[in-house]
């Protein structure tokens, strides 16, 4: 059942424990997955609404809504939140600069090679 729901887990023989994501699935009386709740914090209003929907054999939002949760973001919290956010910002900026720099470097090399071929002809 967990496999069908996309809730994967693996057994770690060294620690003798199962490694799995944290979350909760609500299922309708007909056995259809109604809602996914990821993590360990389930806001009471959303959970109550999802529970009512499941009891009425209705499903929740589409998978796209679930995927876009990752992009909601928010302000950095916790002791190291600002440091982590700054590190991510610098990493993204360096990645973008590296990609564009690489493209410009390859275009320059291509232009030089074309100039050498035209000069040799």
Task: State mean pLDDT over 73-84.
Answer: 71
DSSP-derived letter for residue 41 is -
Return the number of other C-beta atoms located less than 10 Å from residue 54's C-beta.
21
**Is 78 or 82 the better-scoring residue by pLDDT?**
82
| Contact between 59 and 84 (Cβ < 8 Å) | no
Please tell me the predicted confidence (pLDDT) of residue 66. 47
**Is 95 or 46 the better-scoring residue by pLDDT?**
95
DSSP string, 73-91: -----STTHHHHHHHHHHH
pLDDT at 74 over 70: no
pLDDT band with cut points at 50, 70 and 90 for residue 5:
confident
Provide the whole-model pTM.
Answer: 0.44
Domain spans, the chain: 1-73, 75-121
């Amino acid at each position: 059942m967990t496999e069908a729901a996309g809730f994967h887990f693996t057994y770690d023989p060294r620690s003798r424990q199962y490694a799995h994501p944290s979350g909760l699935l609500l299922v309708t009386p007909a056995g259809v997955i109604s809602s996914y709740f990821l993590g360990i914090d389930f806001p009471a209003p959303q959970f109550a609404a999802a529970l009512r929907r499941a009891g009425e054999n209705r499903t929740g939002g589409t998978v796209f809504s679930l995927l876009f949760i990752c992009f909601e973001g928010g302000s950095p919290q916790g002791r190291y939140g600002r440091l982590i956010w700054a590190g991510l910002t610098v990493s993204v900026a360096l990645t973008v600069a590296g990609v564009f720099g690489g493209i410009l470097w390859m275009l320059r090399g291509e232009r030089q090679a074309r100039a050498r071929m035209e000069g040799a002809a």
